[in-house]
Amino acid sequence: MNISKFNRRDFLKNIGLAAPLMLAAPAVLTGCITQMRAKEFSADIVIIGGGLGGIAAALAAARNGINVILTEETDWIGGQVTQQAVPPDENRWIETIGATASYQKFRSGIRDYYFRNYPLTEKSRANKKFNPGNSWVTAIGGEPRVALAVLNEMLAPFVAGGKVKILLRHKAISAAVSGDRVEAISVLNLDSGHEKVLHAPFFADATEQGDLLPLTKTEYAVGAEAKSETGEAHAKEVADPGNLQGFTMCFAMDYLAGEDYTIAKPRDYDYWRNFTFSTSVQKNYHVLNFEENASKKIGFDPEARKGFFTYRRIADRDNFRPGFYRGDITVVNWPQNDYSFGPICDVSEDEFKKHVAAAKQMSLSLLYWLQTELERPDGGAGWKGLRLRTDIVGTADGLAKYPYIREGRRIKAEFTVLEQHLALKDRMAETGLNKDEVRAMQFADSVGIGHYAMDLHITTRGDHAEYGGTLPFQIPLGALIPRRVENLLPACKNLGVTHLTNGCYRLHPVEWNIGEAAGTLAAFCVAQKKQPREVRAKSELLADFQQLLRTDGVRLEWPKDLAMK
């Protein structure tokens, strides 16, 4: 079957369904996961992308009674926290009120997994806020495989009960669209080369770059908007679709003093070792030179186990019984291996692979430079005991399974979150309130909360800045509803934000909340026989939907007396 020419009526005729059923509502046709014909599958919601947003969407949809097909391009679900090897970036209230109940269950599950399976010290077992790596960036930094195990545990009852079907190593390749509705998505099994056609009344895009948007002809934005379009203080004077944040090929390493784990000199080492670059905040620096890219006060000393080595540490050996870990393990997701030398969004597959390959060479070159050239406190050069941990990320080359992508396509939504909705200075100027009184703009259609700095890593145009402080914000339902397409929902960082506000809506707990809201919305719409746009437009439906979110443990507003200090 040529999916590009597929329509529901022809399909039903082909499989011999009675005429009355041909006119049935989509929810009736897709009330359970069924193999309709060879390679033809159906569910209440199809979620493309198994990152944190996709997982949260699947859990929420199944918890609320509908059936799910979830696809994932790699062989690991979990996105940022597993296949990309990025420990969670979170807000300061994450342990109490800063996330949904299910995200906090995920975090608690990580701690519990360590308590049940790892030889911890008694001090670690007694620590209610146990942090496996004692890193700077997160209070729950652990191994990717642990996060993977916890996510699979959370999904296990729904998988066993037939509510969720997971298709690993499947990539969306085309879509069937009728008017303003998506009818089906065709996915390719990357191992067998076989295709499957997935049908549902609702679809969620939880891919890292919004892959379904061009496939379904859903209107989207990419790159930097113009100031004339958004009115944002830090927007560009002229729109630049090619100006996106760089991505990173992360890797894990530990340090064993007195041993030599120097890798073979990377093919492109000389290129990256001598490469200089300019950004909007720093001119003509060597890309790999640690001291040019990080303060000497931070330093890098794996032997003393201090400084930048502990920045994204995922295993602090002092948390475990002596001898369990020979050395601390850290993840390298640093400015030095942010790759910004070409976009990987809206480019050919060959161009995507070319830049990913270059980014891998850049990361391996950074490791080789750390092993051989970085000046040590004793005056020597290089830390030969730095060992690339291929087992931690589950790959032969020791680099993460998938690029850590910070920015991709974003739907053109009914409502777009702008810098002035949440930036501290903008809100103070608009309201006349001081920094202790002012709040981010309050959204009556809130479906969740989040907080993070408007953190933009180096872009393909050399921009590199954090654009001021932000206030704890909400996630408006209007940002989850495309302007035209009726049954496609964003389920990660591809919601209605801008190049700038993507910088604070892209982090782990916010992505989870977005996905959870999308999954719950699909379930609500199936039960109510309504469309997402109707839910936002009708106050009674919106109130009922928001109550469902609250019942499920999704916080829709921050406390009015939230202390920022």
| Residues 495/518, Cβ–Cβ less than 8 Å | no
Q: What is the pLDDT of residues 313-324, one digit of tens each?
A: 999 999 999 999
Alpha-carbon gap, residue 486 to 317, rounded angstroms: 51
Helical spans, DSSP H, in 184-289: 212-215, 227-230, 269-274
Closest Cα to residue 57, out of 13, 99, 126, 103? 103
Closest Cα to residue 84, out of 508, 532, 512? 508
Q: What is the pLDDT of residues 227-259, one digit of tens each?
A: 999 999 999 999 999 999 999 999 999 999 999
Q: What is the pLDDT of residues 436-475, one digit of tens each?
A: 899 999 999 999 999 999 999 999 998 876 677 899 999 9
pLDDT at 281: 66
**Which band of pLDDT confidence, cut at 50, 70 and 90, is reported for residue 563?**
confident
**R_g (Cα) of the chain, nearest Å:** 24
Backbone φ and ψ for 343, nearest 5 degrees, come out as: -75, 150
Query: Does the pLDDT at position 112 exceed 90?
Result: yes
Task: Indicate the residue type of 519.
Answer: G
Alpha-carbon gap, residue 8 to 168, rounded angstroms: 26
- Give the Å distances, CA to CA, from 88 to 14, 53, 159, 295, 392: 48, 13, 25, 23, 16
**Which band of pLDDT confidence, cut at 50, 70 and 90, is reported for residue 294?**
confident
Q: Residue written as tokens 């209610």?
A: 128
Query: Does the pLDDT at position 23 exceed 80?
Result: no
pTM: 0.92
Residue 42, beta-bridge partner list: 34, 199
CATH classification (class only), 3-212? alpha beta
Q: Residue written as tokens 């006119």?
A: 23
Backbone φ and ψ for 311, nearest 5 degrees, come out as: -55, -55
Backbone φ and ψ for 14, nearest 5 degrees, come out as: -65, -35
- 259-280 in b/e form (b: 16+ CB < 10 A) is eebbbeebebbeebbeeeeebe
Max Cα–Cα distance, the chain, nearest Å: 82
pLDDT at 468: 72
| Residues 292/340, Cβ–Cβ less than 8 Å | no
Alpha-carbon gap, residue 103 to 528, rounded angstroms: 26
| Percent residues over pLDDT 90 in the chain | 84
pLDDT at 565: 58
Alpha-carbon gap, residue 183 to 282, rounded angstroms: 49
Query: Does the pLDDT at position 87 exceed 70?
Result: yes
Query: Does the pLDDT at position 19 exceed 70?
Result: no
Stretch 201-205: mean pLDDT: 98
Query: Does the pLDDT at position 10 exceed 90?
Result: no
Closest Cα to residue 51, out of 18, 93, 86? 86
Q: Point out the least confidently predicted range of 137-141, 155-159, 185-189, 382-386.
A: 137-141
Q: What are the start and end residues of each CATH 3.50.50.60 domain in the chain? A: 3-212
Angle at 247 between CA 131 and CA 85, to 5 degrees: 30
pLDDT at 36: 58
pLDDT at 37: 55
Stretch 166-170: mean pLDDT: 98
Alpha-carbon gap, residue 453 to 472, rounded angstroms: 9
